[in-house]
Amino acid sequence: MKILIADDERLSRRMLESLLVKWGYDVVAVEDGNAAWEILQSPDAPRMALLDWMMPGQNGVDVCREMRKQRPEPYTYILLLTAKDAKESVVEGLESGADDYLTKPFHPQELRARIRVGSRLLNLEDNLVQARESM
């Protein structure tokens, strides 16, 4: 599975990329929301995106809102990564269209588990689309 990482902090982006590659994922990494939005609009866009909340250009919440407004198919699972841990921020992030939310610094095994949840949901969606098309 291909996963997009959008994070303006170089060290954080490299760390995430290293973990995901080690876990067997194909990774596309960018440093701002505008680049993330461009990649998510491409025909072979990643099905999962890990977006930092605070980035130059469009932030992670802006990208979420735009994705959900456009409603492209197939579905993209979006996980917001942020240092904001206030309940209001969690609610705002999820209401923007994010599927999940993880605060920094995160535990690698928690990230891995959340990515697996996203993968399962994407597989379920693919199966539903296949069933719908075969009917």
Domains of the chain are 2-134 (3.40.50.2300)
Cα separation, 5 vs 92, in Å, equals 20
pLDDT of res. 86 = 66
Query: Could you list the pLDDT tens digit for every one of the 135 residues in the chain?
Result: 999 999 999 999 999 999 999 999 999 999 999 999 999 999 899 999 999 988 888 889 999 999 998 877 889 999 999 887 767 777 888 888 999 999 888 899 999 999 999 999 999 988 888 888 888
Burial 53-90 (b: 16+ CB within 10 A, else e): bebeebbbbbbbbbbeeeeeeebbbbbbbbeeeeeebb
